[in-house]
Structure 1
Amino acid sequence: MRSAGRGLRLAAWVLGPAGLALAVGAIVGIGTGYASATVNSTAMTPTYSPGELVFLERVDPDEIRRGDVVLQRTANRYGGMPVLQRVIGMGGDHVRQSAGGPVTVNGKPLAEPYVKDGDPSGVPQSYDVVVPEGRLFLLGDHRANSNDSRFFLTDRSGSVAATAAQARALDSRTGLLVLASTALLGLLLAAGGLTAGIVSWARRRAAHS
């Protein structure tokens, strides 16, 4: 009986703090490393539909690559609201498109299997720009219904600062799921430690009554 009591107390002292530390660490990791956003327009269809919840990872500007879908916020566009758009060009890239033709980056046609209806143009508009250093040229996947860099060409070739990109849409949710599972495991361990502590306390009280 005494051995069982010591075992319960040990479990309480070990499982409780360890589980709590595990849960808090994972929750902090989720809060600082990830974000989510609800799509509210058709500008990124068919990749993302209105009402869809998109999970994102927070990234530094130098981690962004062509083809990434980023959540960006620019003070003088879209009423300062964050929007999802795809990175087509980065600093120094020559981005060009003729009406009805494919987008070219540095002279090479861009393969874009993600665009709606297979139409990389969407509107009868041509542009030919060089993206300034430290900035991004962004387009929506529904080119016929996306108010993107093509419509701000007089403002530094339509680009936005790379620092305006707050997060990048996840290609894989594995990392997020691992953190969520770790947080759940930590909470279960903490609960087990608390239960062991309560049982141990109840037994000691019963033994002295």
Structure 2
Amino acid sequence: MEHRPGRRRGIAAIVLLVLGAVILGGVTVAKTVDPPARYTEGRQAGWTMTPTYTNGESIYLEPVAKGKLRRGDVVLASVPWSLQKTQMNRVVAVGGDRIRYKPSSKVAGQYRLVLNGAPLDEPYLEDWKHPSGVAFDVTVPKGYVFLMADHRMNSDGSQYPNNGPVPVGKVTAKVVSYPMAKLAVWGQLAGALVMLIGAALAAVARRARGR
């Protein structure tokens, strides 16, 4: 059985038009129902977060939603151990956690922090063998976070007695790999592009059928 000229292009055009409409409509609806947080761009100052973030590296910042801070989050916070207005640190423990470290003993064959009785996996550290330069044993109060930098041997943090946990209210922003607001824009552009390709393919199919 012979296919009409342009039939395959026509089917492909319909598929692309529908796919593009779904992507564009889906992202637009999602943005309307749950608008992504506004973001700002900045630059990391210093080497305390290497190798995760290096000095001068561009970073994206989003507001911190109340109660949304989690272990492992990288944040900007006003901390007592920094002369700068804010400093980038990582949330290692949250309110209610017990975090401790003893330099003279190994856990599971390596030097590790112990979080709530279990060894803490920290693949982001600059030097895995030295997760802290000092011993500590702290239970983080509710409404506080325990902050440390990734380059532990070249930074200050909550592990030092004179510093301690930081109130959640002192956290000014969360550092994200890529802001949802920017992803949403790219999603809408992708949907529109797919629809344009589908429309162009539909026009080619119509011309083929008219020959």
TM-score, length of structure 2 as denominator length: 0.64
Corresponding residue number in structure 1 for 2:173: 167
Is it true that 1:178 corresponds to 2:184 in the alignment? yes
Contact 1:102 1:110 in 2 (8 A): yes
TM-score, length of structure 1 as denominator length: 0.64
Matched residue of 2:83: which SS?
Answer: helix
Matched residue of 2:127: which SS?
Answer: helix
Corresponding residue number in structure 1 for 2:47: 42
Corresponding residue number in structure 2 for 1:150: 159
Superposed CA RMSD in Å reads 2.7
Is it true that 1:81 corresponds to 2:85 in the alignment? yes
Corresponding residue number in structure 2 for 1:187: none
Contact 1:35 1:58 in 2 (8 A): no
Structure 1 position 167, deviation (Å)? 1.3
Matched residue type, 1:106 = N
Relative to structure 1, the CA distance from residue 82 to residue 181 in structure 2 (aligned partners, 3 Å threshold; closer, same or farther) is farther
Matched residue of 1:150: which SS?
Answer: coil
Percent identity, aligned pairs only, is: 32
For 1:139 and 1:63, the matched residues in 2 are separated by 18
For 2:185 and 2:81, the matched residues in 1 are separated by 34
Post-superposition CA distance 1:151-191 (Å, at most 9, x none)? 2x245xx01111111111114445324347879xxxxxxxx
Relative to structure 1, the CA distance from residue 107 to residue 141 in structure 2 (aligned partners, 3 Å threshold; closer, same or farther) is same
Matched residue type, 1:81 = K
The alignment of Structure 1 onto Structure 2 pairs a total of residues equal to: 153
**Aligned with 1:92 (options 93, 96, 114):** 96
**Aligned with 1:141 (options 144, 147, 150):** 150
Matched residue of 1:115: which SS?
Answer: coil
Matched residue of 1:79: which SS?
Answer: coil
Q: Which protein has the bigger helix share? A: 1
Corresponding residue number in structure 1 for 2:141: 132
Corresponding residue number in structure 2 for 1:102: 112
For 2:132 and 2:101, the matched residues in 1 are separated by 11
Matched residue of 2:159: which SS?
Answer: helix
For 2:158 and 2:143, the matched residues in 1 are separated by 15
Corresponding residue number in structure 1 for 2:122: 112
Matched residue type, 1:136 = V
Contact 1:115 1:141 in 2 (8 A): yes
The unaligned stretches of length 5 or more in structure 2 are: 1-27, 105-110, 190-211
Post-superposition CA distance 1:175-209 (Å, at most 9, x none)? 324347879xxxxxxxxxxxxxxxxxxxxxxxxxx
